[in-house]
């Protein structure tokens, strides 16, 4: 018998932690996991899952309007935020139960409390109980970053936005990344007056320039306001519950809510990492090698807490690789090349591989193919919104090294197309594939 209480102790029951826990247990390890909030982590409880449900709800605003052009006699409709909010939160509760059931089915011990590290192989629960483990895995994810300025405590983050008591008539969203643009689209479709405020001059940094410019153009057409190169000075809470926002070089704004979507930072504070010698980078992320091992041999980390690629499927891959490598006898290293991503804006974006700028810098000579079109549904509905598909090709090898799309269902189409990019297929391979007509996806094999 081992001298330790557990073979593996996991801190954090999010996507990466749950996958690592159940896979390690399936390999025969004695596993425990501590979660101080709710099993499921950011993605399930207060991230991509409830947000995607809000995205679905927001789409009905345009779908109901467009339905009239397709012959449906649709009466005037009223949106009820409370109904959607409560239904989304009920679905989150259901999923949390399923995640807990998965851990229970794999005989993983769950401590619903905070745990900190007090030694290379020892953790302490909030009630003072100390437990030992041969290996410790940190999977505590990320946390919303809120800049410090007078009145910043009056703002909310993506943690609280799903619990709003009422739908804000006017909402200001700080940031230019995917969270800011997704919630801007959501609240705009719900009828809120939306203003995005960005310290910089670019939205969706890291995405292809043509694609992000198209989203900016469409968002402005839909009525979303943008303020660039504008830092916050202060927020004041008024007697009627509204907020007065003071920005640099702008007149004051009066809004009902301010949502800070200014990035996420690794959730490593107060866990005891530095006290036991775990090295962190300048952003507080745990430094790990390709096997997810930290500077302390018995301590590992996966997911957003390592700040490699902050995506749920990546955390799941890392958790699986860790468990298979350490407990399954199957050494596995995660491949971070050509990881697809999506922005569930209105319309959504899908991307994989190099942007045009990245390809030109790295490869030198590239060929660019684009298709700029109106989706058939939009044509009949009288909606002028245009989709844009872009393919980046290595001119020397004909290999497709990047795909970037904005338009209806772009993420659904991109997922399958990402397989082709990952496999290293060429433009000729796309050209040789017969189109599926009529569809938006056929544009990928018709690019000229």
Is pLDDT above 80 for 369?
yes
Q: Please identify which residue in the block is written with the tokens 């660019």.
A: 368
pTM: predicted TM-score of the whole model, two decimal places: 0.95
CB-based contacts of 346: which residues, under 8 Å, 6+ apart?
55, 58, 59, 62, 185, 186, 188, 189, 218, 219, 222
Q: Please identify which residue in the block is written with the tokens 């996958």.
A: 19
> Percent of the chain scored above 70 by pLDDT?
100
Question: Could you tell me the CATH superfamily of domain 6-143+265-327?
Answer: FAD/NAD(P)-binding domain (3.50.50.60)
Are the folds of 6-143+265-327 and 152-262 the same? yes
Per the residue annotation, which of 59, 65, 107, 437 is the catalytic one?
437
Provide the angle, in degrees to the nearest 10, between the axes of the packed helices 312-327 and 15-26. Answer: 30
- What local confidence, expressed as pLDDT, does residue 54 receive? 98
Is pLDDT above 70 for 1?
no
Q: Verify whether residue 437 is a known catalytic residue.
A: yes
Q: Which two tokens stand for residue 245?
A: 């926002």
How many Cα atoms sit within 13 Å of 39 on the Cβ side? 24
Q: Helix or strand or coil: residue 77?
A: coil
Q: Hey, how many other C-beta atoms are within 10 angstroms of the C-beta on 265?
A: 18
Contact call for residues 34 and 125 (beta carbons, < 8 A): yes
**Strand 130-138 versus strand 122-125 pairing type:** antiparallel
Question: Could you tell me the CATH superfamily of domain 347-445?
Answer: FAD/NAD-linked reductase, C-terminal dimerisation domain (3.30.390.30)
Q: What is the residue-wise DSSP string for 238-249?
A: -TTS-EEEEETT
List the domain boundaries for the chain.
Answer: 6-143+265-327, 152-262, 347-445
Q: Residue 2 — very low, low, confident or very high, per pLDDT cuts 50/70/90?
A: confident
d(CA 16, CA 39): 11
Q: Which fold has domain 152-262?
A: FAD/NAD(P)-binding domain (3.50.50)
Give the residues across from 146 on adjacent strands: none
Helix (H) or strand (E) holding 318: helix 312-327
């Amino acid at each position: 018998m081992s001298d330790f209480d557990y073979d593996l102790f996991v801190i954090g029951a999010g996507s990466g932690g749950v996958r690592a826990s159940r896979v390690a247990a399936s390999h025969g390890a004695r596993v425990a996991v501590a979660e101080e909030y709710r099993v499921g982590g950011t993605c399930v409880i207060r991230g991509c899952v409830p947000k995607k449900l809000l995205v679905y709800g927001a789409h009905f605003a345009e779908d109901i309007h467009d339905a009239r052009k397709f012959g449906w006699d649709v009466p005037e409709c009223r949106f009820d935020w409370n109904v959607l909010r409560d239904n989304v939160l009920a679905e989150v509760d259901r999923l949390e139960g399923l995640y807990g059931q998965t851990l229970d089915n794999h005989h993983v011990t769950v401590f619903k409390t905070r745990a900190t590290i007090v030694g290379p192989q020892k953790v302490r629960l909030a009630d003072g109980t100390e437990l030992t483990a041969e290996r410790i895995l940190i999977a505590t994810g990320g946390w919303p970053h809120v800049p410090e300025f007078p009145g910043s405590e009056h703002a909310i983050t993506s943690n609280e936005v799903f619990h709003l008591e009422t739908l804000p008539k006017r909402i200001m969203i700080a940031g230019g990344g995917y969270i800011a643009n997704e919630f801007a689209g959501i609240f705009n479709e719900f009828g809120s007056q939306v203003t995005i405020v960005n310290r910089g001059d670019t939205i969706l940094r890291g995405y292809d320039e043509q694609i992000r410019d198209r989203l900016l153009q469409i968002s402005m057409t839909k009525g979303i306001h943008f303020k660039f190169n504008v830092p916050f000075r202060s927020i004041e809470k008024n007697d009627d519950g509204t907020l007065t926002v003071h920005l640099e070089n702008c007149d004051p704004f009066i809004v009902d809510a301010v949502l800070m979507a200014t990035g996420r930072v690794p959730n490593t504070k107060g866990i005891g990492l530095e006290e036991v010698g775990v090295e962190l980078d300048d952003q507080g992320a745990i430094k790990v090698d390709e096997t997810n091992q930290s500077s302390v041999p018995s301590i590992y980390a996966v997911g957003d807490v390592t700040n490699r690629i902050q995506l749920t499927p990546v955390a799941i891959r890392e958790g699986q690789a860790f468990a298979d490598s350490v407990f399954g006898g199957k050494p596995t290293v995660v491949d971070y090349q050509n990881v697809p991503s999506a922005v569930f804006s209105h319309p959504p974006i899908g991307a994989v591989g190099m942007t045009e700028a990245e390809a030109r810098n790295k490869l030198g000579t590239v060929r660019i193919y684009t298709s700029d079109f109106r989706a058939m549904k939009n044509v009949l509905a009288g909606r002028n919104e245009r989709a844009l598909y872009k393919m980046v090709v290595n001119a020397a090898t004909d290999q497709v090294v990047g795909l970037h799309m904005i338009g209806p269902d772009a993420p659904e189409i991109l997922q399958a197309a990402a397989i082709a990019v990952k496999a290293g297929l060429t433009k000729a391979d796309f050209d040789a594939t017969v189109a599926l007509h009529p569809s938006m996806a056929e544009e990928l094999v018709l690019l000229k």
